[in-house]
C-alpha cells in the first residue's frame, strides 16, 4: 500500500476500503506516515468528505489504535456532549439514571478555551479524586451506579495525534472527521448504551442546526454499526445551559437541580437525556422513563447517589446539603442595564471566554484554574429588563481587575433599548 495512492483516491472522491484505512491509521499512529502526508489526506477529507462506510472503518481503526475498556460491570451507560457553555448535565444525569438502576460509567476531560470540562467541575469539590485506577472506578460503580473519572490508560492514541495535527492544519471542521474522533473515544470506553448530545449555536462546535443534525445522524449510525444501543439528540447552545458558568458555580447549580430547587431548561434537558438513556437500557417506554427520571429527583434518590459517589471519591459530600462549602469567590462585579431593554440573545462563546478571563478556564493545557470564578446569568432571551437591573454577575478570586471581562461580557449580550426617548 502507498500513501500517495490513498491521498489521490480521497482527492478524487474514490472510496477507500477498510484495509487501506487500517493501514493509514496504523501507519500514522506508529510514526511511519509523516505529518505532511497525513495532513494532505485530512485536507482531502475536509474538501470531499468520506462515505459512511469509510467513516465506520476510520472510527473502528482509531478505536483499535489503543486500549478498549472492559469493565467488570454487567451493563453500563455513557453520555457525551459535544461541549458548550454552562453544560453541567453529566453531574445531574449520572445520578438520575443510577437512581433508576442504570450504571453510568464515564470518563471525562478538562476544559479548554470557551468550554468547561466535567473533570475540572468535579475537582472544585474539596478532596474529590478524578484520577482513580480502574479497580476503584469499578468499586464505586458497583456501590452507587455512578462515577466519573479522568481518562486513564492508552485510549485512542490515533485520535490524540490526528486531533493535534487537525488543529494545526485547519482540518478540524469536517463532519466525518469530528464523528470519527468523538466516536472512536466513546467506543473505546465501550459502554453498552450511549446517548450523544450534539449542540448547535453560538456556544457550540457546530454553529448551525443543520450541521449538528448531520453530525448527530452520522454518530448514531456509527454507534449502531459498532453494536451499541445509541441515540443522538440535537440541543440548543445559543444560551448558556442554566444560569451558572464556572466550575464550583456549576456544581452548585447541579446540586440545586438534584435538590429539586432549580427547574427550567437545564432541568428539562437533563430529564429528557436521562429518559433517553433509560429507554435505551430497556427500562420502559420514553414516557414512563421521563416519569422515572423526574421521580429520581423528586424523591431525593439521585441526590443521595451524588452524595455517596462524592464521598467514595474522597470528596466533601456535605456540599450536597450546604453548597456554601464549595469554593467561594472573594470578588464580584455586577453588569447592569443602563436603560430599559429587551434581551434578544447571547454570544455564548463570548460568555465562555469571559468566564475564562475571570480565571474559570484555560487557554493552554497547563493553565491553572480559579475554581470559584465564573458568571451567574440573571436573565434569559426574551426578558424585559428595567434600567439598573442586573444582567449578570461576574465572580473571581484571582482576577481583581474586572474591566476586560466586563467589556467582553457586555459584548456577549444582544439587546434592544426599549426605553421611550424623552423630548423636552
Ligand atoms: N471534539 C473531539 O473530540 N474531536 C473533534 O474532532 C471535535 C470535537
**Residues carrying an active site annotation:** 80, 159, 166, 181, 185
How many other CB atoms sit within 10 Å of the CB of residue 391? 21
Q: How far is the CA of 152 from the centre of ligand 1 (A)?
A: 18
Pocket perturbation via mutation, ligand 1, pick of 46, 58, 108, 163 by most ligand atoms within 8 A of CB: 163
The answer to whether the beta carbons of residues 279 and 389 sit under 8 Å apart is: no
Query: Can you tell me which residue has the cell 434581551?
Result: 343
Cell of 349: 462563546
Atom of ligand 1 nearest to the CA of 180: 6
| pLDDT tens digits for range 95-113 | 999 999 999 999 998 887 8
Sequence-distant (6+) residues with CB within 8 A of 300 are 259, 260
Average pLDDT, integer, range 142-162:
92
Asked if pLDDT for residue 118 goes beyond 80, the answer is: yes
What would the DSSP string read from start to end of 138-166?
HHHHHHHSEEEEE--S---HHHHHHHHHH
Pocket perturbation via mutation, ligand 1, pick of 108, 172, 184, 237 by most ligand atoms within 8 A of CB: 172
How many other CB atoms sit within 10 Å of the CB of residue 42? 23
Q: Whose CA is nearest to atom 2 of ligand 1?
A: 182
Strands 244-245 and 341-346: unpaired
Residue 367: in which H helix or E strand, if any?
A: none
Q: How far is the CA of 182 from the centre of ligand 1 (A)?
A: 5
Q: What is the dihedral of CA 370, 186, 296, 213, to 10 degrees?
A: 90
Distance CA 136, CA 407 (A): 45
The answer to whether the beta carbons of residues 397 and 373 sit under 8 Å apart is: yes
Atom of ligand 1 nearest to the CA of 205: 8
Helices (H), 86-156: 89-99, 118-123, 134-144
Looking at residue 83, what is its pLDDT? 83
pLDDT level of residue 273 (50, 70, 90 thresholds): very high
Average pLDDT, integer, range 348-377:
93
Q: Whose CA is nearest to atom 1 of ligand 1?
A: 182
Looking at residue 367, what is its pLDDT? 86
Cell of 66: 489503543
Looking at residue 424, what is its pLDDT? 57
Atom of ligand 1 nearest to the CA of 177: 6
How many other CB atoms sit within 10 Å of the CB of residue 407? 12
pLDDT level of residue 154 (50, 70, 90 thresholds): confident
Q: Provide the angle, in degrees to the nearest 10, between the axes of the packed helices 209-225 and 52-63.
A: 60
Burial of 73 (0-12, 13-18, 19+ CB in 10 A): middle
Distance CA 275, CA 287 (A): 8
Atom of ligand 1 nearest to the CA of 178: 6
Q: How far is the CA of 204 from the centre of ligand 1 (A)?
A: 12
CA angle at 333 for the pair 331 and 388, rounded to the nearest 5°: 150
DSSP state of 419: P
Q: Provide the angle, in degrees to the nearest 10, between the axes of the packed helices 301-312 and 247-258.
A: 140
Ligand 1 lining (C-beta closer than 6 Å): 163, 172, 177-178, 181-182, 205
Q: Whose CA is nearest to atom 8 of ligand 1?
A: 178
Looking at residue 114, what is its pLDDT? 79
Distance CA 122, CA 368 (A): 15
Average pLDDT, integer, range 386-398:
97
Asked if pLDDT for residue 198 goes beyond 60, the answer is: yes
Provide the mean pLDDT of the chain: 95
Can you give the length of the chain in residues? Answer: 424
Q: 3-state DSSP call for residue 24?
A: helix
| pLDDT tens digits for range 222-261 | 999 999 999 999 999 999 999 999 999 999 999 999 999 9
What would the DSSP string read from start to end of 198-260?
EEESTTSSB-SHHHHHHHHHHHHHHHHHTT-EEEEEEEE-SS-SSSEESHHHHHHHHHHHHTT
From the candidate CATH numbers 3.40.1030.10, 3.30.300.180, 3.50.50.60, 3.30.450.20, the one assigned to the domain spanning 76-320: 3.40.1030.10
Q: What architecture is the 328-417 domain classified under in CATH?
A: Alpha-Beta Complex (3.90)
383 in the Ramachandran plot: left (φ > 0), alpha (ψ -120 to 50) or beta?
beta
Asked if pLDDT for residue 307 goes beyond 60, the answer is: yes
| pLDDT tens digits for range 12-58 | 999 999 999 999 999 999 999 999 999 999 999 999 999 999 999 99
Looking at residue 216, what is its pLDDT? 98
The pTM of the full predicted model, rounded to 2 decimals, is 0.94
Looking at residue 120, what is its pLDDT? 95
CATH number of 3-63: 1.20.970.10
Instruction: Break the chain into its structural domains and give their ranges.
Output: 3-63, 76-320, 328-417
Amino acid at each position: 500500500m502507498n500513501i500517495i495512492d490513498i491521498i489521490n483516491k480521497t482527492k478524487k472522491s474514490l472510496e477507500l476500503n477498510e484495509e487501506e484505512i487500517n493501514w493509514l491509521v496504523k501507519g500514522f499512529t506508529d510514526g511511519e506516515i509523516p505529518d505532511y502526508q497525513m495532513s494532505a489526506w485530512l485536507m482531502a477529507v475536509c474538501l470531499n468528505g468520506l462515505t459512511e462506510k469509510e467513516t465506520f472503518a476510520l472510527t473502528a481503526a482509531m478505536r483499535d489504535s489503543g486500549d478498549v475498556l472492559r469493565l467488570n460491570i454487567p451493563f453500563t451507560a455513557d453520555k457525551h456532549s459535544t461541549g458548550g457553555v454552562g453544560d453541567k448535565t453529566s453531574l445531574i444525569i449520572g445520578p438520575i439514571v443510577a437512581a433508576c438502576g442504570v450504571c453510568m460509567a464515564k470518563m471525562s476531560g478538562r476544559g479548554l478555551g470557551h468550554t468547561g470540562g466535567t473533570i475540572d467541575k468535579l475537582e472544585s469539590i474539596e478532596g474529590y479524586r478524578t484520577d482513580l485506577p480502574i479497580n476503584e472506578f469499578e468499586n464505586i460503580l458497583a456501590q452507587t451506579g455512578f462515577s466519573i473519572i479522568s481518562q486513564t490508560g492508552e485510549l485512542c492514541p490515533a485520535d490524540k495525534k490526528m486531533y493535534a495535527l487537525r488543529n494545526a492544519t485547519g482540518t478540524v471542521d469536517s463532519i466525518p472527521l469530528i464523528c470519527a474522533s468523538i466516536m472512536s473515544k466513546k467506543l473505546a470506553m465501550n459502554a453498552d448504551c450511549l446517548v450523544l448530545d450534539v449542540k448547535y449555536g453560538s456556544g457550540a462546535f457546530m454553529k448551525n442546526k443543520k450541521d449538528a443534525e448531520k453530525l448527530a445522524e452520522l454518530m448514531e449510525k456509527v454507534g449502531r454499526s459498532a453494536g451499541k444501543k445509541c441515540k443522538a439528540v440535537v440541543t440548543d447552545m445559543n444560551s448558556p445551559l442554566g444560569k451558572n458558568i464556572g466550575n464550583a458555580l456549576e456544581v452548585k447549580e447541579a446540586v440545586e437541580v438534584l435538590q429539586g430547587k432549580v427547574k427550567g431548561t437545564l432541568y428539562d434537558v437533563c430529564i429528557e437525556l436521562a429518559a433517553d438513556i433509560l429507554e435505551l437500557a430497556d427500562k420502559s417506554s420514553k414516557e414512563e422513563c421521563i416519569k422515572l427520571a423526574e421521580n429520581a429527583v423528586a424523591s431525593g434518590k439521585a441526590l443521595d447517589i451524588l452524595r455517596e459517589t462524592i464521598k467514595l471519591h474522597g470528596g466533601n459530600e456535605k456540599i450536597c446539603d450546604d453548597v456554601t462549602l464549595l469554593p467561594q469567590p472573594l470578588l464580584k462585579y455586577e453588569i447592569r442595564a443602563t436603560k430599559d431593554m429587551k434581551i434578544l440573545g447571547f454570544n455564548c462563546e463570548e460568555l465562555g471566554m469571559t468566564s475564562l478571563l475571570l480565571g474559570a478556564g484555560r487557554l493552554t493545557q497547563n493553565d491553572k484554574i480559579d475554581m470559584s470564578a465564573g458568571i451567574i446569568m440573571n436573565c434569559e432571551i426574551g426578558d424585559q429588563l428595567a434600567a439598573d437591573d442586573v444582567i449578570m454577575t461576574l465572580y473571581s478570586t484571582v482576577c481583581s481587575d474586572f474591566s476586560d471581562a466586563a467589556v467582553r461580557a457586555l459584548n456577549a449580550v444582544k439587546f434592544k433599548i426599549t426605553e421611550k426617548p424623552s423630548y423636552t
